[in-house]
Amino acid sequence: MSIAEAEQYEGREITIRGWVSKIQTFPKHMFMEIRDGPGDHNKIQVVSKIVPVIIEQYVEITGQVAKLPPGKSSYQTVEIQLKTFTVLGESNSDFTMRVPVGAGPDIKLEERHLHLRSREFSLITVLRSMFLTTLRNVFQSSQSTEIIPPCFVGNQCEGGADLFSVKYPPTHGVEYMDAYLTQSSQFYLEMAVPAVGDCHCIYPSFRAERSHTRRHLTEFLHAECEWKDVLVFETHLEKLRWLVTSILTDFLQTAEIPLKQLGVYDHVVSLTQMEIVIMTHAEAIRECRTRGIYKCTETKTHFDPRDDIPEMQERALIDQIGKIVLLTKFPAEFKSFYMARDPEDTSLSLGCDVEVPGVGEVIGSGVRVFDETELRQRLEESGLKEEEYREYIDLRKYGNARTSGMGLGVDRFLTWVLGKESIRDIVTFPRYPGRLTP
């Protein structure tokens, strides 16, 4: 039986199995804390005479379920009074030295396989799973169909030098083909729209960036979707506003218990109440001037209207604003060839980044080019070969559904939601330059 069910058996003898996570020893008796899963509801106190026990042993315990003495508290209203004790999986007394309480980030990474067992990280692992459930709930509530795209792709999608290239086996012969690990599943979702309508995926993406910031990984979980019938930019922004609000609200309800156990429930409540504002890139440039955020701090040089705002200054701006910002209408040269242009000013793109305090960008999005001639022109301007984008061009030839889409960095978003400092505190087994273990 599970530990969470123990309260139902008060006054009866039960057998449980779990890991020894805490020991308190006294002259004639001892207390053990036994867990069989994450969260406080999966822990129980066991009282016994002195027995030889080591932290993290996997044990089988039989004993009487008894109500806690008056004035005493534990994880449950009952405890187990030990009768028999069997070690099923041995441990070693150096466990607490390997992952000491208050261990720094380097130790937590090097000993990730052991750090996973900590109360905080086990709760985060459960919350990450619940967050994926939330994403699927939100997508499915809008009749979106989940698609499973490939990880190996034959073209460069957005182009760039941050792709992982691999050699792929050919149909015939000995010459291997060039392939890449996907940066985005956008193209495959766009291909599925004429068949199933709105669609989404929650799937890994890969970036060969040599970045060691607290926001970046080489392999990350990417929630992407494509929406049809986006005839004006305002419709796209409404969908983004709905998406962010729905995710926060659903997650608060779905994950209430572990959020409270982790001590971040009130923080998530505050995020559901945070104002969402729309700001153009031009307005952001003006805000930087007003707030003293410089292109170069040493020379106090201000940003020009068509400058890209680097990550550090952009985050400083969003932190000062203290709201969820839908940052829109960037200079077209910043964005990929498939991003539609603003009909009122074709030098601007109909893109939108969702920026949040403390983390920065958590969603990249935009309206797609729908005209075949314009798409061919954009490919040529980007130095890309039309033959490598045959299927993508076909989508403009045979009934384009006027789509827009977005890509949400799952763990970056969750870093913000849980109020953590680094994305490495969220991902179970993070991958970044130099790290391939455990």
For CA atoms 52, 56, 60, 64, the dihedral sign is: positive
Global confidence as pTM: 0.93
Give me the pLDDT at residue 159, please. Answer: 53
Give me the pLDDT at residue 161, please. Answer: 59
Is the separation of the CB atoms in 19 and 36 below 8 Å? yes
B/e letters for 23-45, b = 16+ CB within 10 Å, e = fewer, are eeeeeeebebbbbbebbbbbbbb
Give me the pLDDT at residue 211, please. Answer: 78
**Which runs of consecutive H residues, i.e. helices, occur in 255-330?**
256-262, 265-272, 281-291, 311-321
Over its C-alpha atoms, the chain yields an Rg (Å, rounded) of 26
**Residue 339, beta-bridge partner list:** 368
Is the separation of the CB atoms in 65 and 83 below 8 Å? no
The residue whose two tokens read 């060969």 is 208
**Residue 63, beta-bridge partner list:** 14, 82
What does the alpha-carbon distance between residue 409 and residue 416 come to, in Å, rounded to a whole number?
11
Residues (pLDDT < 70) of the chain are: 156-161
Is the separation of the CB atoms in 240 and 396 below 8 Å? no
- Grouping H, G, I as helix, E, B as strand and the rest as coil, residue 164 is coil
How many other β-carbons are positioned within 10 Å of the β-carbon of residue 128? 18
What does the alpha-carbon distance between residue 409 and residue 205 come to, in Å, rounded to a whole number?
9
Is the separation of the CB atoms in 98 and 115 below 8 Å? no
Q: Which two tokens stand for residue 246?
A: 């729905």
Residue 408 contacts by C-beta under 8 Å, 6 or more apart in sequence? 135, 222, 223, 224, 243, 362, 363
What does the alpha-carbon distance between residue 155 and residue 391 come to, in Å, rounded to a whole number?
11
For CA atoms 244, 247, 253, 257, the dihedral sign is: negative
How many other β-carbons are positioned within 10 Å of the β-carbon of residue 315? 20
How far is CA 293 from its chain centroid?
29
What pLDDT, in 10s, does the model give residues 388-426?
899 999 999 999 999 999 999 999 999 999 999 999 999
**Which runs of consecutive H residues, i.e. helices, occur in 99-118?**
105-110, 112-115
Give me the pLDDT at residue 299, please. Answer: 92
The residue whose two tokens read 């050699």 is 167
What does the alpha-carbon distance between residue 286 and residue 295 come to, in Å, rounded to a whole number?
12
Give me the pLDDT at residue 156, please. Answer: 66
What pLDDT, in 10s, does the model give residues 310-363?
989 999 999 999 999 999 999 999 899 999 999 999 999 999 999 999 999 999
Single out the residue of 268, 298, 301 nearest to residue 285, CA to CA: 301
Q: Which long-range contacts (CB under 8 A, 24 or more apart) does 100-103 make?
A: none
Residue 406 contacts by C-beta under 8 Å, 6 or more apart in sequence? 224, 225, 239, 240, 243, 363, 364, 365, 366
What does the alpha-carbon distance between residue 204 and residue 223 come to, in Å, rounded to a whole number?
9
Amino acid identity for residue 204 in this structure: P
What does the alpha-carbon distance between residue 75 and residue 63 come to, in Å, rounded to a whole number?
17
- Grouping H, G, I as helix, E, B as strand and the rest as coil, residue 427 is coil
- Pick left, alpha or beta for residue 295 (phi over 0 → left; psi -120 to 50 → alpha; otherwise beta): alpha
